Amino acid sequence: MNNEITLYQRPGLNNHRIEQQILDITQRMVDRWFSKDVISDTLVDLKFHDVICLEREDQLKSFIIFTSYEGSIRISLMGTDPSEHNKGYGSELLKQFFNYLFINGYKKVELFTVKPNNNPQYTATIAFYQKNGFVLEKEYVEIWQGGALKLVKTLE
């Protein structure tokens, strides 16, 4: 079976199947990776942001919620079904996402993530993004509880 990569435009307005699968994965990631308010934030984001998904046999395995901001793409949230971790789905999705963005004229992708000293789980998260070409651009102390890191990938 092959993986399918699909772009969904604002799924919170017109695709409740994929919206529900995103929320299910996100819920399973609460506490270990995400705070409880991520669920309500995601519901709002899905009405205004697009999503690219990796699906297998109509089951969502990994997703990226994103928007355009000042000429760059900003990832709002990325998640992979916890039962599917370490199978390469997230990296495969990012690779296809970067190709799609580059073809459409984007040169940069950015995201914000939790600092590992706030949640040790994020050491692996940052390593994952760095493995996929992101570099640390800036550290913020004034946003989120305990600060955040801004990671950036230049597309070529």
Q: What is the distance between the alpha carbons of residues 153 and 156, in angstroms, rounded to a whole number?
A: 9
Overall fold of domain 4-154: Aminopeptidase (3.40.630)
88-146 tens-digit pLDDT: 999 999 999 999 999 999 999 999 998 887 777 778 899 999 999 999 999 898 787 77
Ordered by start, the domain boundaries in the chain are 4-154
8 Å CB contact between 24 and 69: no
8 Å CB contact between 36 and 27: no
21-35 tens-digit pLDDT: 999 999 998 877 777
Residue 1 has pLDDT above 70, yes or no: no
0.75 exceeded by pTM: yes
pLDDT band at 87 (very low <50, low <70, confident <90, very high): very high
Distances (CA, A) of 100 to 17, 53, 83, 93, 135: 23, 13, 27, 11, 20
8 Å CB contact between 74 and 66: yes
28-71 tens-digit pLDDT: 988 777 778 888 899 999 999 999 999 999 899 999 999 998 88
Q: What H or E segment, with its residue span, contains residue 149? A: strand 148-154
